[in-house]
Amino acid sequence: MGHDPAPLTSVCVFCGSADAAEPAFLTAAADLGRALAAAKLELIYGGGGVGLMGACAMAAHDAGGKVLGIIPEFLKIKERRLDVVETVVVTSMHERKQMMFERSDGFVVLPGGVGTLEEIVELLSWRRLDLHAKPVVFWSPNGFWEPLFALFQHTVDHKLTPPEFMESWVTVEAIEDVVPALLRGPAKIHAMAPDVARLT
């Protein structure tokens, strides 16, 4: 990478906004929020009070952590903006993603739907283009993200993506491993244990 990562002080969490998500996912999102607060890492997130993102943000806030929500005007009602945390209202999804990227030193991906997919594919595409070297950690319980990783590998196998792209992120299965993986940073990926890093 051509960019040295900044010291980790803020973490963006990409995740689902559906209240119908599995209870275990919601519980883990809250656990992550508390872990970020305990580590003195500011949470940057999508600004809503629903689904995994709401659970993560409320837990971080309740634990005394610093939280910044970024939400487009048209989603304020649908995603039930959290008024108890600092929130920036922007005009578009593009502006939201750009601000989330700029304000964050690292990224965590929890289970989510098509919106989460859009966010992380763009983030990893920017990594592929050497536009950043910020750590990216996926929480993949029971192999949740394996189909996505298999698709990425499929593009590598067909020589449409360079093999080193598969080293752009770290995967953990236990939510308590997310913050330690973030703090190791991208330079430490190769030194991590096989059950923590995905190096295929």
- Give the pLDDT of residue 124: 97
Mean pLDDT confidence for 34-62 = 95
Per-residue pLDDT reduced to its tens digit, 159-196: 999 999 999 999 999 999 999 999 987 544 333 333 33
Class of domain 10-186: alpha beta
Domain ranges of the chain: 10-186
Alpha helices in the chain (DSSP H): 23-38, 51-62, 93-103, 114-128, 146-157, 178-184
- In the predicted model, is pLDDT for residue 109 greater than 50? yes
Mean pLDDT confidence for 55-83 = 85
Instruction: Enter the pTM of the model.
Output: 0.87
- In the predicted model, is pLDDT for residue 199 greater than 80? no
- Give the pLDDT of residue 5: 52
Question: Does residue 182 or residue 82 have the better pLDDT?
Answer: 182
Phi, psi of 162, rounded to the nearest 5 degrees: -70, 145
- Give the pLDDT of residue 3: 52
